[in-house]
Amino acid sequence: MTCLSPSQLQKFQQDGFLVLEGFLSAEECVAMQQRIGEIVAEMDVPLHCRTEFSTQEEEQLRAQGSTDYFLSSGDKIRFFFEKGVFDEKGNFLVPPEKSVNKIGHALHAHDPVFKSITHSPKVQTLARSLGLQMPVVVQSMYIFKQPHFGGEVSPHQDASFLYTEPLGRVLGVWIAVEDATLENGCLWFIPGSHTSGVSRRMVRAPVGSVPGTSFLGSEPARDNSLFVPTPVQRGALVLIHGEVVHKSKQNLSDHSRQAYTFHLMEASGTTWSPENWLQPTAELPFPPLYT
């Protein structure tokens, strides 16, 4: 099973991230890809992506639809698209399976394949070796990073979006379903950047307002030369401390860079911010990782 060695634990504490190559088998990665293919084949494109706009009022309704769709996605399986994949009538300009940016935010709860990976004995053993007492799963996403237009993800800290008191209670688990290379948009980290708090927070606006979220604070200018690339092979798992600064570049290659990622929170002695965009619901309280 995947128990971290003392030196791996030390490296994670020092850098704020840790690469575990070969965490999942090729078969497990293929199972996720096949399942995601079925989910995409059956997807309903949300209405706010499908409508034509003319008046300002209709534009506002679209923005509101988009906001509501995102803000209420925490306990559902929903689809988020790349820019420029629809024409003005809402028809696809590229094949639907090449248009999706990500699927979120509750694959771990609603889909048997992703549930079994998230709660696998391997992941539970890993969490125990990190000392997590009562970890819960707060969200999950399948990220496509499509060839040629999988967009860049600017430098950020996950705790900006998933804020807790105290800090240091959120852990990202990022699994490469396909090889992540320098060309197709692998992750980049600033080692050691997880120790100086959170510079920016995304908070929920009052219900019904557009946009539905706003930012407190701002991302400081960061020296590009501080970032270290972490190309990994299919099946690798990357542990991501909630406050470590990371980014990924645009995918300029011919190959997608698919990944499955989920976030854990140590629930013992932790307050989940009521201002976070993502909130547990009656239908889906954050499920315990340990089964």
**What is the structure's pLDDT at 1?**
66
The residue written with tokens 């497990």 in the block is: 28
Ordered by where they begin, the domains of the chain are: 6-45+60-272 (2.60.120.620)
Write down the pTM of the prediction.
0.96
pLDDT of residue 149: 83
Give the Å distances, CA to CA, from 177 to 78, 154, 233, 284.
Answer: 19, 21, 8, 26
Check if the beta carbon of residue 178 is closer than 8 Å to that of residue 255.
yes
DSSP conformation class of 232: B
* Tokens coding 157: 């800290």
Q: pLDDT tens digits, the chain, 291 residues: what are they?
A: 679 999 999 999 999 999 999 999 999 999 999 999 999 999 999 988 888 878 888 888 888 899 999 999 999 999 999 988 998 888 999 999 999 999 999 999 999 999 999 999 999 999 999 999 999 999 999 999 999 888 899 999 999 999 999 999 999 999 999 999 999 999 999 999 999 999 999 999 988 788 899 999 999 999 999 999 999 999 999 999 999 999 999 999 999 999 999 999 999 999 999 999 999 999 999 999 999
